[in-house]
Amino acid sequence: MSSVRIECVGQERCRLGESPLWDEKEGALLYVDITGRRVCRWSPGTGQAQAVPVDAPVSSVALRKSGDYVITLGTRFAALKWKEELVTTITQVDQDKANTRFNDGKVDPAGRYFAGTMAEEIRPAVLERHQGSLYTLFPDLSVVKHFDQVDISNGLDWSLDHRTFFYIDSLSYSVDAFDYDLQTGKIGNRRSIYKLEKEESIPDGMCIDTEGKLWVACYDGGRVIRLDPETGKRLQTVKLPVDKTTSCCFGGKDYSEMYVTSASDGMDKEWLSRQPQAGGIFKTMSSSIKIESVVKEKNRMGECPVWEERENALVYVDINSQKVCRWSPVTNEVQSVSVDARVGSVALRQGGGYVIALGTRFAFLDWDTQAVTTILELEQDKPNNRFNDGKVDPKGRFFAGTMAEETAPGVRARRQGALYTLFPDHSVIKQLDQLDISNGLDWSLDHRTFFHIDSLSYAVHAFSYDVHTGKIACPKLLYHLEKEEQMPDGMCIDAEGKLWVACIDGGRVIRIDPETGKRIQTVRLPTPRITSCCFGGKDYSEMYVTSAYDGLDEATLAKEPHAGEIFKITGLGVKGIPQNFYAA
């Protein structure tokens, strides 16, 4: 299984970055800033970008066999000598049209340069329709027009067997295929192989991978999508932390990195403040991850995993079985302590043992004696409530929230829950009320923000957090889950400050950047009812994910043999941080 990490590289931002291309000879990434009128070259060795300014919008760049580059500049094909910063016109097209310019271009397998034109934009993606054409510049410098009546000539590439040409006219919202003759460069028999969905927005640049699958950048969609040209199906979506993704290519030492360009033109100040990396170049890296079921003993409702370093074990609860459990990776054995009510969460205690949220009580659990000592009982006026998820904050206070029990499957009284904080002196304050299902929670690495999930809001919210008093305030929406992600449940934070959210009935954990409010990674698990997650292991490089089988009927359980098990994910390329201890 593969996971994708995304990194913004380079310091300079483009107005309209486009046409990324890996120059193997230079070990560098080429790209253009169309409206910035620059051809750029970024070195991963130095992290710096050099640029050659030009006298018109420059829309694409390609490698030239004799050295240096060929570019599309205004309505000209031109040669560019990098060191001399010298541009020489080869030929011009669209001489009967005063308001067009070239857009995307690429060299075919026989060394011919395909590039298309479009009308100049009034504003991004708004222009006079049907003014563009698709051209080919041959090695003898002759030019052929393939067709006209194009809106925005854009992404293009060729199949690995050199028999099919793929092409995008952006305002058709389609990726098209043509029969392609390698010997002559002629194309024909046009057909659509994929129509973009509404949330994918406008197709822009495109490239092909070594498996023959197409990658399409979605302008205003904030993503690149992977398509199978044989089936016309979307195989994968990689979301970027900016909306205006423009094009993509593979590069790096073994072409295992994907580079994605983006734009900032057309964004107002408020939009740019939300997406400060707009116009940046992004590197996406795939890494192999491994998912294995490590706890085969099934949980009715596994929840609240916590790595206990002093015991080298994973502690968690089975809410509906009324058990606190501890699994040792050394012996692969699970020990458990039965309690007298549903136990929503468990946390480490500084003085040894654990603090738990049990029914509507805060309590201490002594593991060796299995004794449970009540600290305080809450919500005695709500006999149908119980605690759910909980976690200790950076100052040793135990935050935990409540919810109403179901009266029938999927049926419960709404807004009966609250969020409480248990202080080390055993005093309690109520932080929030009117909650449905108080769930996942964690704190930012700088201890200034508290993150919380009320599951039936289908959202993650952020609050300002005072580390000295423990009080939270000023809630704001951070991320709203998409339909296929289903309901948010437990949550943890990694050492890079990104949030991981378990999606119950969504069969996945998702990684969210709290700075941008964007989902940046999805890891699918082999069972649907994923409940919570934490980091653990020797260096906190392993993620542990709990699941449940309650709520699944017999037919579903027969198809979901791993339901209720606990999974270990390795190879994520990111580590977690140790859990906090309750300071009493």
121 annotated as ligand-binding:
yes
Give me the residue label for tokens 């699994």.
Answer: 327
At 498, list the tokens.
Answer: 């990104």
At 403, list the tokens.
Answer: 């919810």
Residues whose CB is less than 8 angstroms from the CB of residue 297 and which lie 6 or more positions away in sequence, other chains included = 334, 565
Phi, psi of 541 (to 5 degrees): -100, 0
Strand intervals (E) in 313-443: 313-318, 323-327, 334-338, 343-349, 354-358, 361-366, 371-377, 385-392, 398-404, 417-422, 428-435, 438-443
At 579, list the tokens.
Answer: 């859990």
Beta bridge partners of 31: 40
Beta bridge partners of 513: 518
Residue 96 is among the residues annotated as catalytic for this protein: no
Distances (CA, A) of 189 to 163, 167, 418: 12, 12, 63
The dihedral built from the CA positions of residue 76, 79, 80 and 86, taken in this order, carries a sign that is: negative
DSSP 517-543: TEEEEEEE-SSSBEEEEEEESTTS-EE
Distances (CA, A) of 400 to 48, 76, 361, 427: 47, 65, 10, 14
- What is the distance between the alpha carbons of residues 484 and 486, in angstroms, rounded to a whole number? 5
- The single residue of 204, 265, 494, 513 carrying the catalytic annotation is 204
User: What torsion do the CA atoms of 339, 344, 348, 350 make, to the nearest 10 degrees?
Assistant: -80
220 annotated as ligand-binding:
no
The Cα angle at residue 250 between residues 185 and 16, in degrees rounded to 5:
85
Across the chain, how many H-helices and E-strands are there? 2, 51
Phi, psi of 244 (to 5 degrees): -90, 65
529 annotated as ligand-binding:
no
**Neighbouring C-alpha atoms within 13 Å toward the C-beta of 28:** 18
332 annotated as ligand-binding:
no
Q: How many CB atoms lie within 10 A of CB 476?
A: 10
- CA 72 from chain centre, in angstroms, equals 33
Going by the annotation, the residues of the binding site are 18, 101, 103, 121, 154, 204
Residues serving a catalytic function are: 204
Going by the annotation, the residues of the binding site for substrate are 101, 103, 121
Going by the annotation, the residues of the binding site for a divalent metal cation are 18, 154, 204
